[in-house]
Structure 1
């Protein structure tokens, strides 16, 4: 696939995700931010299913969706993706920028929507700010997306399992926000859609503007397992191995 085609696909994916996000945002924030039937139903369910063990697990899991943990995971994704020290540092830095700018933009959207949270009496953990889109959900989804992208590009053994674990973690962090009563379900949906759109925008920017040698180094283009990035297998003397007669 050419860079132009890859950038075009990323642009379409990003615009699609954000178009749906805009619709959800208008519906969720309209009417003073009143909860939808699905919001009320899931909050009611969570209030009736809160044993202490489940609450403790949910609080522990939701805590990983903010603060230093997501940034540490993004740096790990960069280290996993890069094949040289320079590329590892570059990939980690780009991942941190993607996450940080995505978080800041989400904050602006949250202030614009100004949707109230569920009633404070229903909260089972601390929270602050407006409700839509969910910050923990957005942060964990962005982090999971970067981890999955790095895993798929690097292609380590067990990559399918690693992608499933990262995806489940990102999804569960969002769901804990509903379970703990600090967000409506549509806030979480909004966080997932916003994150999907932002990841697509970052992919578009990377494909469009990163130098070809950097992009090839991060994507592994031209290199195969056990083969030097230059292409054909070489002998220990540094010369190209002579093909068999």
Structure 2
């Protein structure tokens, strides 16, 4: 006797999450670290003296400090420091975690990565002690040494961490769109530092390279910091209603 109802459609198993392999991440971290070291060594050997292209960039920026570009640059650059990056990484943790405990763990890990990057950046700035461009050319307030750029490093770290959180939560197409938006934001923040005359281009490049190396290392440690049970089952899907064993 056959069943009167329609046959149940089998539900395909959830596809496992794919993350970058260990070797590509190690290679990325090594390349970015080597490039950062090369830039830092150049800055150190020249005792902070800017290269000719850096001087040219400063001359161009000081000649284009008119409105409304200056106000727009100041508004954008303000998002690269202070509470905004930390709010972004907290959001990343909330998106990347699963359940209350998983979200708390993810938030703490995300904030720890940003805080560690800040500490490393501060230490390098004090160690290399590169002077900023002449204060007469500044179009915004700045303090401390120049290399690597704090705004560039911080915004790139925050953008990368939030991109990770979105990739853990959203579907691939949505995640790629947001990753592009975040990359543009971080690039814009870094470029405003040169436009406003408070950093040399090498400072911003160093900040980006440092952030990329740290993000790659953080992804390598992700399985230890955030076990699989604390992650959503798949991007864009609700967690299973079954309790985790």
Length-normalised TM-score, structure 2: 0.84
User: Structure 1: how far apart are the matches of 2:220 and 2:232?
Assistant: 14
Which sections of structure 2, spanning at least 5 residues, go unmatched? 1-15
User: Structure 1: how far apart are the matches of 2:160 and 2:17?
Assistant: 22
What is the DSSP-based 3-state SS (H/G/I as helix, E as strand, rest coil) of the residue aligned with 2:163? Answer: helix
What is the DSSP-based 3-state SS (H/G/I as helix, E as strand, rest coil) of the residue aligned with 1:35? Answer: coil
CA-atom RMSD, angstroms?
Answer: 2.5
Determine if contact 1:71/1:96 at 8 Å carries over to the other structure: yes
User: Structure 2: how far apart are the matches of 1:84 and 1:205?
Assistant: 21
Change (3 A) 1:158 1:143: same
What is the DSSP-based 3-state SS (H/G/I as helix, E as strand, rest coil) of the residue aligned with 1:158? Answer: helix
Structure 1 residue 83: deviation in Å? Answer: 2.7
Structure 1 residue 227: deviation in Å? Answer: 7.1
> Which among 47, 50, 55 is matched to residue 40 of structure 1?
55
2:240 aligned residue: 228
- Indicate whether 1:200 and 2:216 are aligned: yes
Alpha-carbon deviations, 1:18-55, whole Å to 9, x = none? 11100011112322211112211111111111112111
2:225 aligned residue: 210
User: Structure 2: how far apart are the matches of 1:39 and 1:177?
Assistant: 13
> Which among 99, 102, 126 is matched to residue 84 of structure 1?
99
Length-normalised TM-score, structure 1: 0.84
Q: Which stretch shifts more, 86-95 or 135-144?
A: 86-95
1:57 aligned residue: 72
Note the 1:6-155 alignment, pairs <5 A.
Answer: 6-155=21-170
Determine if contact 1:28/1:36 at 8 Å carries over to the other structure: no
Structure with greater proportional helix content:
1
User: Structure 1: how far apart are the matches of 2:222 and 2:127?
Assistant: 28
Alpha-carbon deviations, 1:180-205, whole Å to 9, x = none? 00000010000000000111111122
Structure 1 residue 6: deviation in Å? Answer: 3.0
